[in-house]
Amino acid sequence: MDLKGIYMADEHRYDDDSFYSRCGKSGVMLPKVSLGFWHNFGGVDPYERSRAITHYAFDHGITHFDLANNYGPPYGTAEETMGRLMDDDFRPYRDELFISSKAGFDMWPGPYGNWGSRKYLMASLDQSLKRMHIDYVDLFYSHRFDPETPVEETLQALVDIVRMGKALYVGISNWPLEPLKVAEQYLREHDVPLLIYQGRLNMIDREPMEEGILDFCREHGIGFIAFSPLAQGLLTDRYLNGIPADSRMAHEKFLKSERLTPEYLNYILNLKTEAEKQGKTIAQAALAWILQQQGVTSVLVGASSVNQLAMNIKCV
């Protein structure tokens, strides 16, 4: 049966105003919980599950979907899933969605499919738009700082991408503090203010706080979105009794079993006790902790089931 056009978003999805935060000093409001497509939305994943997760998200006010050129696997297929979702369900809601993509890590072979050249960023965004079946992204990121490319080349490419109408806003991700300062000034002086910084921040990994990045963003009106806010599942009850066969750790790729040390298990059990005192799950407590940090706009969660997302969204 062709289900295209059947999806009707929940009419109460925007009932809770407090679910949105202003992104830095911009005009953009983002949901406090955003949905990432790094895992679980690739060509290897069941489309109907990806689809159900996005429906649940949007029905509950999650307007921001975060992608990158190389999310999958295979590379590019998370964006293809997004394209299919646009065709099947979300086209009528395009103006209610805030879709981001990125380029900066390896994407295609040869010298033009990686890092931060103008050549790579321009070509990659064109490919992303084709895969996602959309004319523009709301937000385009430089996915990492390229020490070999003049920083002005990367930044001017971002400015021109906005001028060309292919992105409404620009962001940077994983850049160290000093180049971040250069980016903030360059983009402001070229009338394309830096909207947001995307960095790994959770109770275990606190570099953006320790290195002054979060403070810099807050002081300069730049939003901050925390990726891997659950440390890829470590800050949940997922690994309390070993490694489930369907978990990210079972793949031993991005999340390795060496993380399950006695110190970690002790830490997570203590966190569980503290969370339960507040009537929360471990994941809810971990997400709430991030949202309490001054300057944080949103937590960018991943989910391999509707149930995980349903539980996690209650952190707000």
Ligand X SMILES: NC(=O)c1ccc[n+]([C@@H]2O[C@H](COP(=O)([O-])OP(=O)(O)OC[C@H]3O[C@@H](n4cnc5c(N)ncnc54)[C@H](OP(=O)(O)O)[C@@H]3O)[C@@H](O)[C@H]2O)c1
Does the footprint of ligand X cover residue 131 (CB under 6 A)?
no
Give the binding range for ligand X (CB under 6 A) out of 175-183, 216-224, 271-279, 304-312.
Answer: 304-312
Q: From the list 231, 271, 275, 316, which residue makes contact with ligand X (rule: CB under 6 A)?
A: 231
Q: Which two tokens stand for residue 190?
A: 């070229």
What 3-state class would DSSP assign to 225?
strand
Q: Taking the complex as a whole, how short is the minimal distance between the CB of residue 204 and ligand X, in angstroms?
A: 10
In sequence order, which ranges of 136-281 are alpha helices (DSSP H)?
151-163, 177-189, 207-210, 213-219, 262-277
Q: Taking the complex as a whole, how short is the minimal distance between the CB of residue 198 and ligand X, in angstroms?
A: 5
Q: Which of residues 145-204 bind ligand X (CB under 6 A)?
A: 173-174, 198
Cβ-based neighbours of 82, under 8 Å, separated by 6 or more: 37, 41, 65, 67, 99, 131, 132, 133
Distance between first and last Cα of the chain: 37
Q: Which of residues 85-114 bind ligand X (CB under 6 A)?
A: none
CA dihedral 193, 120, 163, 223 (to 10 degrees): -20
- Least Cα distance to 302 among 3, 13, 68 occurs for 68
Does the footprint of ligand X cover residue 283 (CB under 6 A)?
yes
Looking at the Cβ atoms of 189 and 235, the one nearer to ligand X is: 235
Report the alpha-carbon distance of residue 315 to residue 287 in Å, rounded.
6
Looking at the Cβ atoms of 58 and 227, the one nearer to ligand X is: 227
x/- mask, ligand X, residues 33-62, rule CB under 6 A, reads: ---xxxxx----------------------
What 3-state class would DSSP assign to 67?
coil
Q: Taking the complex as a whole, how short is the minimal distance between the CB of residue 286 and ligand X, in angstroms?
A: 9
Looking at the Cβ atoms of 40 and 54, the one nearer to ligand X is: 40
Binding site for ligand X (CB under 6 A): 36-40, 66, 143, 173-174, 198, 227-233, 236, 238, 247-248, 283, 300-304, 308, 311-312
